[in-house]
Structure 1
Amino acid sequence: MSTNLERFKAIIERGFSQGDLTVADEVCAERLIEHEYLSKTDLPGPQILKAQIEDARGSIKNLRLAVEAIVEAGDTVWARSKATGVDPRSGKPVTIDVIDICRFADGKLIEHRGVPDRFALLHQIGALPLTPQRLP
């Protein structure tokens, strides 16, 4: 892997879509600054990414991520991906958008901000009302 775009795509394709945890050892710095809500932050960088991959694949069965838009600006990769799969509790198919902002240095991921659309996930599995509730 020679570019940050290739590194990012490896995380998405090999890691999240295929469950290959070894990608974390290849692309993560030992110190990863993690900003994603509910992600572990008190582990070495590769372990943080491995935990995120395992959590995502446990939350959505048959998880597949497809990058739909990607931009590289300096040392940072910005991406919008589509996650699809099946909610393991309800058995319902789900599709959500995921936004990632990844900063790299010396060929390693050093900082990550991730925003999976958890509201869309909750709505699709029936945990949120089908229509917005209006305040009086």
Structure 2
Amino acid sequence: MPTHSQLNKQIVRRFNQEVIAEGNLASFQELMDEQFINHSAPPGADNGPQGMIHTFNHILRPALADMKVIIHKQVAEDDLVTTRKTITGTHTGTLMGIPPTDRPVSIDVIDIVRLRNGKYIEHWGINTLPVVLQQLAKKLSEL
């Protein structure tokens, strides 16, 4: 029988595959607590559930064809799961103001999720998206 930590890791893996990689709204609703807080949301941005799904379905997915999430490592303790992952795709749509370059993109991410009753309740994270945006802008200026 899986431990509490193992079950939490499975939930986070499922969220990464079904919600981030696939954009499945039914899975998002099932796995997201309505009181969720994203502590890593940019200042002034929606730090609740709708802000989180907006990032995936209206910013990343339209810009990155064939988007995938590769989980490298997970560590779980109590109600927290830390995940080191890479979000990959091909830059075929506008990404935060940067027109398509048709180049491969890899965004490295480390996030911590707190779960309550099998649902996301809090998130903290860091990622390399700012570096990726700089690299894409540089590639455009070289063309």
- TM exceeds 0.5? yes
- Return 5+ residue gaps in structure 2 as ranges: 94-99
CA-to-partner distance for each residue in 1:2-60, whole Å, 9 max, x for gaps? 8211111111111111121211111111101112233522x5x3x33322321221232
1:8 partnered with 2:19: no
- Return 5+ residue gaps in structure 1 as ranges: 129-136
Provide closer, same or farther for how the CA distance between residues 49 and 122 of structure 1 changes in structure 2, counting only shifts above 3 A: closer
Whether contact under 8 Å (1:63, 1:85) holds in the other structure is yes
Give the aligned residue type for 2:126. Answer: V
TM-score, length-normalised on structure 2? Answer: 0.76
Q: Which residue of 1 aligns with 2:89?
A: 85
1:118 partnered with 2:122: no
> Quick check: which one's helix share is greater?
2
TM-score, length-normalised on structure 1? Answer: 0.80
Q: Which residue of 2 aligns with 1:103?
A: 114
Q: Which residue of 2 aligns with 1:131?
A: none
Give the aligned residue type for 1:97. Answer: D
Q: Which residue of 2 aligns with 1:48?
A: 51
Residues in 2 aligned to 1:121 and 1:37: alpha-carbon distance in whole angstroms:
18
Provide closer, same or farther for how the CA distance between residues 36 and 59 of structure 1 changes in structure 2, counting only shifts above 3 A: farther
Provide closer, same or farther for how the CA distance between residues 76 and 24 of structure 1 changes in structure 2, counting only shifts above 3 A: same
What percent identity do the matched residue pairs reach?
26
Q: Which residue of 2 aligns with 1:133?
A: none
